[in-house]
Amino acid sequence: MHNNVINISYFPKHIFWEYKDDSILDEEIVIKNVLLYGDMDEFKKLIRMVTRESLTKVVDDLEKSGEYKKRFNFIKKIIM
């Protein structure tokens, strides 16, 4: 990661329910939450905000956990 940060106010509250509405978070946290809890519109917005390298790293890290297998199958085949 490049230590980039993103203001979460660009995304719906349900994706970042545990943070204040105008929080500025590390892009890795933003990518993770959007991938896990967002929909196609949020995915598209995220792709415009982060590098493909950052997105790929988070996807790979989350995929290694073995959870969300169907979600990441969709993301890798459709989104990336």
Q: Of 71 and 11, which is predicted with more confidence?
A: 11
Per-residue pLDDT band for 20 (boundaries 50, 70, 90) equals very high
> What pLDDT digit, counting tens, does each position of 48-61 carry?
999 999 998 998 88
Residue 80 has pLDDT above 80, yes or no: no
**pTM of the complete model:** 0.84
Contacts of 30 by beta carbon, 8 Å cutoff, 6+ apart: 6, 8, 11, 46, 49, 50
Could you tell me the pLDDT band of residue 1, with boundaries at 50, 70 and 90? Answer: very low
Q: Mean per-residue pLDDT for 68-77?
A: 75
Decide if 49 contacts 4 (C-beta within 8 A). Answer: no
For the chain, the structural domain boundaries read 5-79
3: left (phi over 0), alpha (psi -120 to 50) or beta: left
